[in-house]
């Protein structure tokens, strides 16, 4: 886990993470943003604290209002507490906070959880505007493949903590689609497809098998899959599985 300049995030101490990484180099849009915000503080208070920490503005109040406007968060709701916000407004508040430091990487952790489809599409489009259109990178962690299809340039599918497929989004979502059986199963779970349940259950993460973690659930698994962890192999168009 390294940033572009070689900083090892797993080895960095808390002081380094707090002063040079969080907010400044990596912005975070958390899962369930309303629950992530401090319940006894207003949105304005959250924004003012963050602009003071990251930008040291001459007028924190005006800077907070500018940060809210950047994420299309209404000024009329700045003095509301988290429990007074809808899911969409809580999401915009979290996005406003994540963008304050102009971090080159925005990490969005399940940003569409609990939102209806209209809000999902709006949230994804706003994240795209704040990243791709502004020259930032976006790493979105999601179970929502429809949202991923709407925004992603590259798709990485993980199973039991391991990447099992990596492909350009256009290749992943086109015919013939994913190569790994688990990735194909995920795509087949989309509403417009014929869903076929995957038998079995994921392994315990603390006790992974020596081979492919999906082998026990895979109809295509052989002794090679069970003996050792299969490497990602290159296919067409930088498609690895």
Residue 176's pLDDT is what?
84
pLDDT of residue 230: 84
The predicted structure's pLDDT at residue 2: 66
3-state secondary structure of 141: strand
For the beta sheet containing 137-141, the strands, ordered from the edge strand earlier in sequence to the opposite edge, are 26-29, 105-109, 137-141
DSSP state of 74: -
Q: What is the SS3 assignment for 172?
A: helix
Question: What are the DSSP calls for 205-232, one per residue?
Answer: GGG--SS-TTGGG-TT--HHHHHSPPPP
Give domain limits for the chain: 1-152, 167-241
Phi, psi (deg, nearest 5) at residue 73:
-90, 125
Q: Which carries the bigger pLDDT value, residue 57 or residue 190?
A: 57
C-alpha closest to that of 182 among 227, 225, 224: 225
Question: What's the confidence (pLDDT) of residue 113?
Answer: 81
| Long-range Cβ pairs for the range 44-50 (8 Å, 24+) | 44/78, 44/79, 46/93, 46/97, 47/78, 47/93, 47/96, 47/97, 47/100, 50/23, 50/97, 50/100, 50/101
**3-class SS at 16?**
helix
Q: What is the pLDDT of residues 180-206, one digit of tens each?
A: 999 999 988 888 888 888 999 999 999
CA separation, residue 229 to residues 1, 174, 212 (Å): 21, 27, 5
- Tell me: the pLDDT tens digits for 62-109? 999 999 999 989 999 999 999 999 988 998 999 999 999 999 999 999
Average pLDDT over residues 6-31: 90
CATH of the domain spanning 1-152: 3.40.50.300
Residue 45 CA neighbour count, 13 Å, CB half: 10
Q: Provide the percentage of residues in the chain whose pLDDT is more than 70.
A: 96
Q: What's the whole-model pTM score?
A: 0.85
């Amino acid at each position: 886990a390294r940033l572009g300049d070689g900083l090892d995030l797993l080895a960095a101490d808390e002081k380094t993470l707090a002063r040079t990484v969080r907010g400044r180099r990596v912005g975070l849009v958390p899962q369930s943003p309303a629950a992530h915000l401090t319940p006894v503080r207003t949105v304005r208070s959250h924004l003012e604290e963050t602009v003071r920490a990251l930008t040291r503005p001459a007028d924190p109040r005006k800077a907070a209002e500018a940060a809210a406007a950047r994420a299309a968060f209404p000024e009329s709701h700045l003095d509301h507490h988290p429990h007074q916000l809808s899911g969409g407004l809580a999401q915009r508040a979290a996005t406003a906070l994540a963008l304050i430091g102009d971090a080159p990487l925005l990490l969005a952790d399940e940003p569409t959880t609990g939102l209806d489809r209209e809000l999902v599409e709006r949230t994804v489009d706003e994240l795209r505007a704040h990243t791709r259109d502004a020259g930032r990178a976006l790493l979105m962690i999601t179970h929502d493949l429809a949202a991923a299809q709407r925004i992603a340039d590259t798709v990485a599918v993980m199973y039991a903590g391991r990447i099992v497929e990596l492909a350009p989004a256009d290749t992943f979502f086109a015919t013939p689609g994913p190569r790994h059986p688990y990735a194909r199963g995920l795509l087949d779970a989309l509403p417009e497809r014929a869903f076929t349940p995957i038998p079995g259950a994921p392994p315990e993460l603390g006790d992974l098998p020596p081979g492919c973690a999906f082998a026990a659930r895979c109809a295509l698994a052989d002794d090679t899959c069970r003996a050792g962890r299969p490497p990602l192999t290159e296919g067409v168009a930088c498609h690895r599985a």
